[in-house]
């Protein structure tokens, strides 16, 4: 028959309950820390999203304003060219009328 040299310690029921409660408390603590981290992370992501959307809107507004400004300038230049053409035709007609 084999006899062990090891002595099995007797763990009291109170120690088991204390260890179980400590494990539960630590689990709750870790869970609370994870929730706090997640809340902080979600807030940071929302802030970054808002900042990005604001920058995109500003850039879009700027580009649209530049497009409108360019279009208006082109329309003005086309009007000036048309006016110049009409003025030259009128000037040539007034010069050629006595000759004809």
> How do the pLDDT tens digits run along the chain, 100 residues long?
555 566 666 668 888 899 999 999 999 999 999 999 999 999 999 999 999 999 999 999 999 999 999 999 999 999 999 999 999 999 998 888 877 6
- What's the CA angle centered on 69, arms 65 and 74, to 5 degrees? 150
What pLDDT was estimated at residue 39? 98
| CA dihedral (19, 20, 25, 26) positive or negative | positive
pLDDT of residue 99: 73
**pTM of the prediction?**
0.56
Q: How far is 41 from 97, CA to CA, in rounded Å? A: 83
Q: Which two tokens stand for residue 88?
A: 């030259």
Q: What is the pLDDT of residue 75?
A: 97
């Amino acid at each position: 028959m084999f006899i062990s040299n090891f002595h099995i310690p007797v763990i009291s029921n109170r120690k088991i309950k204390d260890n179980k409660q400590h494990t539960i408390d630590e689990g709750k603590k870790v869970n609370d820390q994870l929730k706090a981290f997640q809340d902080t992370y979600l807030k940071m992501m929302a802030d970054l999203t808002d900042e990005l959307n604001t920058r995109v809107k500003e850039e879009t507004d700027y580009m649209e304003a530049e497009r409108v400004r360019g279009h208006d300038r082109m329309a003005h230049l086309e009007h000036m060219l048309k006016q110049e053409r009409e003025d030259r035709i009128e000037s040539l007609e007034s010069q050629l009328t006595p000759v004809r």
